[in-house]
Amino acid sequence: MHPPHRLEIRGLTKRFGPVAAVTDVGFAVEPGRVTGFLGPNGSGKTTTLRMLLGLVEPDAGTALVNGLRYRELPDPARTVGAALEANNFHPGQTGRDHLRIYAAMIGSPDSRVDEVLSLTGIWDAAHRKTGGYSTGMRQRLNLATAMLGEPPVLVLDEPTNGLDPEGIAWLRRFLKEAAAEGRTVLVASHVLSEAAQLVDDVLVMHRGRLLAAAPLTELAAGTTLEDAFLNLTGALA
């Protein structure tokens, strides 16, 4: 069992030139639950995740994993497994080669590569070059990379993009099991119907600001997540 890891975001702000991508965003993500980070495309979800993961420098605010910034984590890839865009692969490398590179980086044996290939169901495609992968296979390879270090925290950006219905059902089971094992799971998505079947807690982003942070049962009490979301964003006529 993993020790619990809490994510804490305080006052995160980021501008790209004249565009305020994220403005004063703050929330916490608790272990043992699946937290949905919901909002339309361009609402600031990805920028917030990238600031959490040390890829983008915030103009203000902090993003902490168990009280530490991502860059300060003693063993980052064994603490946080992140799956961002599913097209970050060298097309000339096989799926197995891609995983072997990052396994070597954290000192994991090649047997761990075999484990994550089996876990994510892309064993048969492991010897093929990633340039020939479908979007769904890329998503699975993305998740396999995130799982290499057996991290207690999972941060996933639109993980169902390109997955077929079977893949989405598998991912739902996988993430619920991960949370049940005590992992902290943060999933960004703009597909509310899928999120409604997956998440325990909901964070709603709109135009770079956090509009709501609550358990799903509270936010969508007596209505659907979609209607609750549209009410919050003012889009429901």
Of residues 109, 111, 50, 51, the one with CA closest to residue 83: 50
Q: Of the listed pieces 83-91, 170-178, 187-195, 227-235, which binds another protein according to CB under 8 A?
A: 83-91
Give the x-and-dash track for 146-185 against another protein (CB under 8 A).
Answer: ----------------------------------------
Helix (H) or strand (E) holding 28, with range, is strand 19-29
Q: Please state, in angstroms and rounded to a whole number, the distance separating the CA atoms of residues 14 and 23.
A: 7
Q: Please state, in angstroms and rounded to a whole number, the distance separating the CA atoms of residues 74 and 76.
A: 6
Pick 49 or 204: Cβ nearer another protein: 49
Q: Please state, in angstroms and rounded to a whole number, the distance separating the CA atoms of residues 114 and 139.
A: 17
Q: Does 60 sit near another protein (CB under 8 A)?
A: no
Q: Please state, in angstroms and rounded to a whole number, the distance separating the CA atoms of residues 75 and 106.
A: 8
Q: Does 92 sit near another protein (CB under 8 A)?
A: yes
Within 10 Å of residue 134's Cβ, how many Cβ atoms?
12
Interface with another protein (CB under 8 A), residue from 73, 147, 199, 203: 73
Interface with another protein (CB under 8 A), residue from 6, 8, 15, 102: 102
Of residues 35, 8, 27, 9, the one with CA closest to residue 178: 35
Pick 35 or 94: Cβ nearer another protein: 94
Chain positions 116 to 145 lying near another protein, rule: CB under 8 A, are 145
Q: Which residues bind another protein (CB under 8 A)?
A: 50, 53-57, 70-71, 73-78, 80, 82, 84-85, 87-94, 97-98, 100-102, 104-107, 145
